[in-house]
A and B are shown apart, each in its own frame.
Chain A
Amino acid sequence: MSTVVLLALTGLGLGALYFLVASGLSLIFGLMDVLNFAHGALLSIGAYGTWWAASGHLPAAGSGGFGFVLAVAFGTATGALAAVLLELALIRPLYARPREQVLATVGVGLAVPALLSAIWGADARPFPGPRALSGTFGLLGAQIPVNRLVLTGAAVVVLAALKLFLGGTRHGLVVRAGVEDRAMVTALGIDVRRAFTLVFAIGGAAAALAGALGGLYFGSVDPGQGTSLLIFAFVVVVMGGMGSITGAALASVAVGLVQQFANYYTTAGLGDLAVVVLLAALLLARPRGLTGRLA
């Protein structure tokens, strides 16, 4: 029983990480038809930003208590800023050429991790976290690391905030309408490109938050972390149906749980394999994803 609880909560934590990456990817793809290969790079930027701030380079930020919150905020803001820069500098000029947009993000996705490893080295760096988050707590006889709970909580907060934003604000309305039919929104006289920048900022912030909290989950940061998470985030986005936040949330929980349980009860690595096989099977059975949308 205690093993099942531990696996379930760890799976949820991993799923939360996937959701944070996939929510931005899904919105960006739904709205702009851009498969953002630089999303993993945004995650790495967030992770390194938090690590940099938490190891004492930023005044007032640190590895404990309020200082760590400040560090995470700094990392998230850096990621959001990088995403906005990416959209303004590279995506917008290629507006009429969707395939080139994807290719440009591929280039950024290759260059940024290389730059990070040029500056801070290719090896993993230990991630400083507050002591309160590095312990465990008991639940139904299982000792569960606190950071799994932090990740799940953060993902739930982000999900709720995104739902509120998309459902209750005017900007959210424009984004939702743009996902449905971009040409029609433009025809109605709304500048949909402002929504592009906004969606990139939100997606970048969520990915950077995933990087900051992923540092807690893995205990270290390395330049390749973002890229390896990106593939599973793609799996989540496709399974959940492109452009659907709820679908992404459901799919990320499913993927996280399947991965953890299969890795534990069979041999290590088989869980990852099970996930990609699941994706292929799902796409063949229901080519439009879980929630029935595929742009």
Chain B
Amino acid sequence: MTTTTQPKDPVREHCDTAAGHGRRGRHLIRWWPAGLLLALLAAPYSALPLPGLLDGPIGSPGSLQLLALCLVFGGLATGYDLLLGRTGLLSFGHALYFAAGGYATNTIMLEAGLPFVTSALLALLFGTALAALLGAVGLRVSGIGFSMVTLAFAQAGSILVARDPGGLTGGEEGRAVPANRLPASLVGIEHTVNLYWIALAYLVVTLAAVHCAVRSPTGRVWEGIKENERRVEVLGLRPYGFKLVAFTLSGALAALGGIVYLLLTGGATPQTTTSNFTLSLLVMVVLGGSGSRWGPLVGGVLYTWADHRLGDLAGSGAVAGLPAVLRVPLSQPLFLLGTVFVAVVYLLPGGVVRLPERVRVTWSSRATGRTMTEAEPAERKEIPAS
């Protein structure tokens, strides 16, 4: 749970020793992920109302459902960033593996009559195998060709689901989860808290998997591929295998996310198969900050929260009273999200997670002028646009 892999840290460490104060405080600050996890673990037992942020108190089923969705999408975006931000692969077909997890679990439960846990394991295997297979094919082309092949595969999947072969997928309406196949502790609104635990567990698993993978030797090769694939080849490594590992791992995490999402929404819906779904993942990752540890998580949580809450905002009295010029665009969450996304791309390269750092750099350079010697150029190099 430390941040030693990032290039800025030696500099910051150096600063700390040189300044000789505030070390204790910063050590404490470094443990904030643990603190956040504790807060998330305690959340269901809290009756604290967060007016504006959530509809009811935190512990109420509605709020827990929304929080769980946020956590699932945070995890999903983190898994997707394994491709985009860590390996430099722009996949437009990630929705396929997410949908594969959900649809396969549901179909196995409905058609084969197996219990949920067995179905979920089989579906995870299916999603992983699908990602490995299609990745092996798609990675034979690189660059924009790869993006297009992944888009084509995902589109094929989307069409297949919409066609409803043999009544397996339910076509445009999707299929509801059979409640009698689920453990009783996962059915009913009073058990929303259990779904919340599962979503939180999924997020922790994804974060841990991505963290370990990125710090492993394979992860270093991914970084090399992202920076300069040709040089990795010159070093005697074949990028193909490494990229396939990243693609398969990311696909497996997405399939797992699809299974959790299936539980949360109580059914498999064709919206999860569309290219727009992949685009929204892309928006989440870039919004939060691609290639950083917490960025995709922050982006996923922010996007999901905004997508749900802005819809409520649009229907509220405060918006209905506005003149038409303001009211009409505000009634569409997707319009606001698209606009915010363009603004982030344009004004905030590196995403939302870079915001505190940028503010701090601007503030400290204004406050201390030229007295910061080594730290300043190093920090500036990271943020070219500041």
Contact = CB atoms under 8 A, between A and B. Distances in A.
8 contacts: A94-B346, A104-B346, A110-B341, A112-B338, A238-B145, A269-B162, A276-B153, A283-B149
B144 A242 contact: yes
Interface string B338-352: 110110011001000
Contact of A103 (B140, B144, B286): B286
A287 B140 contact: yes
A276 B145 contact: no
Contact of A283 (B141, B334, B342): B141
A4 interface: no
Contact of A114 (B143, B147, B152, B335): B335
Interface stretch (A10-18, A115-123, A161-169, A209-217): A115-123
Contact of A234 (B141, B151, B283): B151
Given A118-B335, A242-B144, A287-B145, A111 B152 contact: no
Interface in A204-236: 227, 231, 234-235
B163 interface: yes
B331 A118 contact: yes
Contacts of B46: none
Contacts of A114: 332-335, 338
A35 B144 contact: yes
A8 interface: no
Interface in B287-329: 328-329
Interface residues of B, number: 41
A280 B163 contact: no
Interface in A78-123: 90, 93-94, 97, 99-100, 103-104, 106-115, 117-119
Of B151, B286, B342, B349, most buried by chain A (CB within 10 Å of CB) is B342
A287 B145 CA distance: 7
A272 B161 CA distance: 13
B11 interface: no
Interface string A247-279: 000000000000000000001111011001101
A231 B140 contact: no
A279 B163 contact: no
Contact of B338 (A35, A108, A295): A108
B156 to A, nearest CB: 5
Contact of A104 (B141, B160, B334, B345): B345
A110 B137 CA distance: 30
A294 interface: yes
Chain A interface bracket (under 10, 10 to 19, 20 to 34, 35 or more): 35 or more
B148 A234 contact: yes
Given A90-B346, A231-B275, A234-B151, A106 B282 contact: yes
B244 to A, nearest CB: 15
A238 B151 CA distance: 12
A280 B134 CA distance: 10
B283 A110 contact: yes
A115 B335 contact: yes
A277 B160 CA distance: 12
A167 to B, nearest CB: 26
A12 B352 CA distance: 47
A268 B331 CA distance: 35
Nearest to B134: A280
Interface in B142-192: 143-145, 147-149, 151-153, 155-156, 159-160, 162-163
Nearest to A242: B144
Given A110-B279, A279-B149, A279-B152, A273 B332 contact: no
A235 B332 contact: no
B341 A106 contact: yes
B216 interface: no
B386 interface: no
A268 B162 CA distance: 11
Contacts of A277: 152, 156
Nearest to B335: A114
Interface string B232-276: 000000000000000000000000000000000000000000011
Which of B138, B159, B333, B345 is packed against the most chain A CB atoms within 10 Å?
A: B345
A111 B341 CA distance: 9
A111 B156 contact: no
A284 interface: yes
A231 B155 CA distance: 8
A117 B341 contact: no
A111 B335 contact: yes
Given A238-B148, A295-B144, A106 B155 contact: no
A104 B147 CA distance: 17
A132 B332 CA distance: 38
B40 interface: no
A119 B279 contact: no
Contacts of A279: 148-149, 152
Contact of B337 (A37, A110, A272, A276): A110
Contacts of A284: 137, 140-141, 149
Nearest to B343: A107
A287 B334 CA distance: 35
